[in-house]
Chain A
Amino acid sequence: MPELDAVDQQIIDKLQGDFPLCERPYAAAAERLGIGEDELLARLQRLLDARVLTRFGPMVQIERMGGAFVLAALAAPEARYDEVTALVNALPQVAHNYRREHALNMWFVLATETPQGIAEAISRIERDTGLPVFAFPKEKEYFVEMKLAARI
């Protein structure tokens, strides 16, 4: 696990939302954290390079613009796991993908600009991998709040 100091932790905890919309937003955010603009920029770049952050920017809800976001899974044979991973990840519609311990051992999220894009992506994955894909579209959202504090 990368070494994170107290300032890194503050950056991770305080900057998961509400990034300022002003001319110099990093300077404004840095001031709230008690550091300088240059230091914040350097630390963000380092956190991104170390893959502590996967991204820094807007998180788009594609459903609000008429698109679709669907959880899907497949059972990849162990001997083909890396090959199947590469085939699935090659699709830009795959926003994230996780290996999980289950007969259904690959779980990924498809995000497309149109609802029919989901079916197209699923057929493409089924064709490329030769494996059936199970789709689990959400029927109801009870709660979503993915803001985890750094616990180092």
Chain B
Amino acid sequence: MDGIHDLGGMSGFGAVEIEPDEPRFHEPWEARAFALNSLGIRRLGAYNVHEYRHAVERIDPAHYLAASYYERWFTAVATLLVEKGVVTLAELEGRAGGRFPLSRPAAEVKPGALVPASASRFCAGERVRVRDRHPAGHTRAPRYVRGKCGVVVRVSRAFELPDLAGHALPAHQETTYHVEFAAAELWRDAAEGRASVVVDLWESYLEPAR
């Protein structure tokens, strides 16, 4: 989805402020929220990590930007446990004593929604283009590289395709590639000199650039 989570390259944000000696968790509830996700994935097996990431992406955009990292984290966990029928929203609202915001529903994605564009694998040094797709569901191809050309700098390992796994569909393993894009290819007149971005992309996201 072309969601609020896909922030790379957006303008209008201010300074980045580093907190000296930042603790792992600022509040006790953050640690509990952290651990509840492990419970959901590992212990209950209620959902997988791709579904978790997508549930974060599905948070209402205004809520997404206003929430802290662990509030987003927690909202995704609660959403999935409601969607999977482990708990109900009414139960949560009753216990919390107020409104309990969850993520928006996922789009319907069909098995076989994404197949590789090319039968051949890519090699290191090869020029590739990111397919200019705008799926309604989960994907890990950031908007800022879609339609852009880059060079494969490393053929990485094979991993489950998130576009399917993120919707609890059977997902095949697919080779991933580290692809380097020159800043000028991505940002045109706004590009800085001697800069590039390397993005980790599944084979299905790519097509040959010849």
Partners in one complex: no
Interfacial residues, chain A to chain B (CB-CB below 8 A): none
